[in-house]
Amino acid sequence: MTVSMTDTWTNYIGKPVNRVDGVAKVTGTARYTAEYNVQGLLYGMVISSPIARGKIISIDTSLALAVQGVKKIYSHENVKDMPWFDISYKDMNLLPGSPYRPFYSNEIQFSQQPIALVIAESLELARYASTLVRIQYEEDVFETSLEKNIDKAFTPKKGKAGFQKPKSRGRADRALKKADVKVEADYYHGAEHHNPMEMFVSMAIYEPDGSLTIYDKTQGVLNSQSYVARVFDIKHRKVRVLSPYVGGAFGSGLRPQYQLFMAVLAALDLQQPVRVSLTRQQMFSFGHRPITWQRLELGASREGMLQAIRHSAISETSRFENYTENIVNWSGRLYMCDHVKLDYQLVQLDVNSPLDMRAPGAATGLLALECAMDELAYTLGIDPLELRMRNYTERDPEKDRAFSSKNLMDCYKQGAEHFGWEKRSYNARSMRNGKHLIGWGMASGIWDAMMMPARAEAIITDDGKLTVSSATSDIGTGTYTIMTQIAAETLGIPLEDVTFALGDSKFVFAPYEGGSATAASVGTAVWNVCHKLKDELFSLAKDIEDSPVKKYSIDDVVFANGKIACKDNLEQFLFIADVMQRTHTKSIKKKSADLAALIKQMGYSRNTHSAVFAEVKVDEDLGMISVTRVVSAIAAGNIINPKTARSQIMGAVLWGISMALHEESFLDHQFGRFINHDYAEYHIPVHADTPEIEVIFVKEDDPVVNPLGIKGIGEIGIIGVAAAVANAIHHATGKRVREFPITPDKLL
């Protein structure tokens, strides 16, 4: 007899378990970085540059310092002895170039660059004093327009961590010339800033022994820890970084932001606790999704078989770092096509370096590719979904190897079925409801299923309680919950007995939470460490006198329902807590092993896929657009928790809609400055804009990626959404708008 799923109530993987931190979050007991208070806390206010490029001539702090309660004002004038070398400022995101160093010199490299830091006894005082600091600048000529500087585009020699040089194949130029049918189109989208609800903030507490305890808003406590250790030349073990809850980050927390530097600088100098928080306006002072221009050329046979793909992209970057992302690469990987030419270039401008934002590169590249595919479908007179199916590829055509798993076909099929795609009438402007034109559009998505080295540590105590920890983060994604599920199921103990701890640099290594890799990487480590506990518990169990498992091997028992039971006779069991008590084992502690499985993955391409279907209605006269329905079908391996996963996809879909219709940080070239820098004017969808979103996870078993078959779902949900919406708008109105966001004026 074997144990079936149904009678094992400690099977949590794949179940819609409520967030384990949900109650803490809705009752306010989950404390975010800015909510920690300590005695004698000082507050910092950052002064930002009003100019985009130039030099600081003088800083007059006398008026500000005269205000009672103002402690000190930092700027390049009094911050000395900081390291010279770029290497000291490098973080895990590893951009080629020379990282921005706060207060390093009088040089201004971008608008809103931090110029000075005012430290005072209250936030209000710091804020007031910051208005009293008189700064004189010498302005230089600056360039912030991608369009005007497109002739300065160059191919970056080196990329940042994770950048893959685009690989062309075949002879696309010739194939394009010979193709039966061609489409060629240029696409453009503006800059976007992450704008998580929680603003960036760090609090540095100077301990009597000279060590630092830091609360930081970050996606990686170890990244912040090593940055602080290197920049301030302190031993790693004397820097502890905590970030138990993060109010959204979307990539903006992948690099230590400047408030961390500043809080530490002041805390070390004043030997007092200091908190530095940014304002909403200052949230527009750092990285962003780069403004990108793209050209797509597709050649196909009359039957709709792709004969050539040419995809070029030009993005902005700063003058001091080459921020690179994988924009064009996907065009060589999504469809079967022998001739692909890819080109990716950068233009350096007087702006801050761009920064990874949810599905960096893919959100951009597939916007263009999937709009162009729709244009091709309409040039050929083929249904857009049918066109994609005809060009389906079972193998990765770029690397010419198998996918570890790929079930995009079921995404197409199930997505179409749930959406009712077959009822669509092909012609543009052929569906309407009164004064509203109705349009249906679709697009595909692809993203990497990554694994990064990560570890977990676990302790089980003789009351049967398990604590697992790892220096990973939960940026709202549900890390706490799914790790708890994995641990509980692997050891077969109740969820309530498991605590997962994260966001502390004291814990064992985990990379920052990015690239949709956390569930797979940390999840595997948790699984692994729990197996090690299992082994140990099992050998203890065998030691017990009269043990029912004495003659069994570990493969012949099951850990479930809080017990170790014999598979062939479930009535024969031991409670896990009893095993420990009866062997006088107070606790067992294990660390996960580095995984050999990584080798096995090498031979395969590992990706997640999606198909997204959108319905829009457009007021024919007034151009008002609303998205009324979205179906998103996702193939992303094993879904640990369909509830938190669905939330991830819904949020991502909404962001895709935002990219299509609303979102842009407008860069004013008179000042080289993002000008709509608040929530009132930086538009993202509100509830009234939120359509019905149906999320489907198609079945995808993947034994290659990792033992649990996890691929990660943090980013795939946004990819293709903007294209699906744009394609729906074309279907509704007959208009191709290739400049994003598609605001109503573009439809008049």
Partner 1 sequence: MNRFTFTSAHTIDEALHENIPGNGTRFIAGGTNLIDLMRADVERPDHLIDIRHLDLQTITDTEDGGLRLGALVKNADTAYDEKVQSRYPLLAKAILAGASPQLRNMATNGGNLLQRTRCYYFYDTATPCNKRVPGQGCSAVGGYNRMHAILGASDHCIATHPSDMCVALAALEARVVVMGKESKRVIPFSEFHRLPGDQPHIDSALLPGELITHIELPANGFSSHYQYIKLRDRRSYAFALVSVAVALTLEDNAVKDVRIALGGVAHKPWRNTEAENILKGKAAEELNFRNAADIILQEAKGYTYNTFKIELARRAIVRALAEARDLQAPEPLNCYTYNRHHQL
Handedness of CA 636, 638, 640, 642 (dihedral sign): positive
In the complex, the residues that contact partner 1 under the rule CB under 8 A are: 50-51, 111, 124, 127-128, 131, 279, 281, 619, 621-624, 626, 661-662, 666, 668, 670-671, 673, 675-678, 680-681, 683, 685-689, 743-745, 748
The catalytic position among 143, 398, 663, 715 is 715
Report whether 408 contacts 635 (CB < 8 A). Answer: yes
Q: How far is the CB of 715 from partner 1 (least distance, A)?
A: 24
Q: How far is the CB of 145 from partner 1 (least distance, A)?
A: 13
- C-beta closer to partner 1: residue 596 or 680: 680
Report whether 427 contacts 438 (CB < 8 A). Answer: no
Q: Where are the alpha helices (DSSP H) in 472-627?
A: 479-491, 518-543, 576-582, 597-601
- C-beta closer to partner 1: residue 6 or 670: 670
Query: What is d(CA 302, CA 387) in angstroms, rounded to the nearest whole number?
Result: 11
Report whether 461 contacts 587 (CB < 8 A). Answer: yes
- C-beta closer to partner 1: residue 139 or 207: 139
Q: What angle do CA 390, 396, 397 make, to 5 degrees?
A: 70
Torsion of CA 96, 97, 103, 107, to 10 degrees: -150
Query: What is d(CA 258, CA 282) in angstroms, rounded to the nearest whole number?
Result: 11
Q: How far is the CB of 618 from partner 1 (least distance, A)?
A: 10
- C-beta closer to partner 1: residue 392 or 671: 671
- C-beta closer to partner 1: residue 147 or 417: 147
Quick one: DSSP state of residue 117?
E
DSSP secondary structure letters along 241-301: EE-S--S--TTTTSS--HHHHHHHHHHHHHTS-EEEE--TGGGGSS--BPPEEEEEEEEE-
Query: What is d(CA 199, CA 217) in angstroms, rounded to the nearest whole number?
Result: 8
Cβ neighbours for 679, distance < 8 A, ≥ 6 positions apart: 195, 280
> How distant, in Å, are the alpha carbons of 105, 106, 115, 134, 725 from that of 57?
11, 8, 12, 11, 49
- C-beta closer to partner 1: residue 410 or 619: 619
> How distant, in Å, are the alpha carbons of 33, 102, 200, 257, 503 from that of 263?
13, 12, 12, 11, 19
> How distant, in Å, are the alpha carbons of 546, 584, 606, 669 from that of 537?
16, 12, 35, 66
Query: What is d(CA 100, CA 336) in angstroms, rounded to the nearest whole number?
Result: 42
Pull the structure tokens for residue 524.
Answer: 């595997």
Annotation says 422 is catalytic: no
Q: How far is the CB of 198 from partner 1 (least distance, A)?
A: 18
Q: How far is the CB of 675 from partner 1 (least distance, A)?
A: 4
Q: How far is the CB of 528 from partner 1 (least distance, A)?
A: 46
H or E element, residue 114:
strand 114-120
Report whether 351 contacts 110 (CB < 8 A). Answer: yes
Q: How far is the CB of 348 from partner 1 (least distance, A)?
A: 23
Q: How far is the CB of 144 from partner 1 (least distance, A)?
A: 13
- C-beta closer to partner 1: residue 105 or 281: 281
Query: What is d(CA 558, CA 584) in angstroms, rounded to the nearest whole number?
Result: 22
- C-beta closer to partner 1: residue 482 or 659: 659
Quick one: DSSP state of residue 67?
S
- C-beta closer to partner 1: residue 585 or 743: 743
Q: Return the SS3 of 386.
A: helix
Q: How far is the CB of 134 from partner 1 (least distance, A)?
A: 14
The catalytic residues are 715
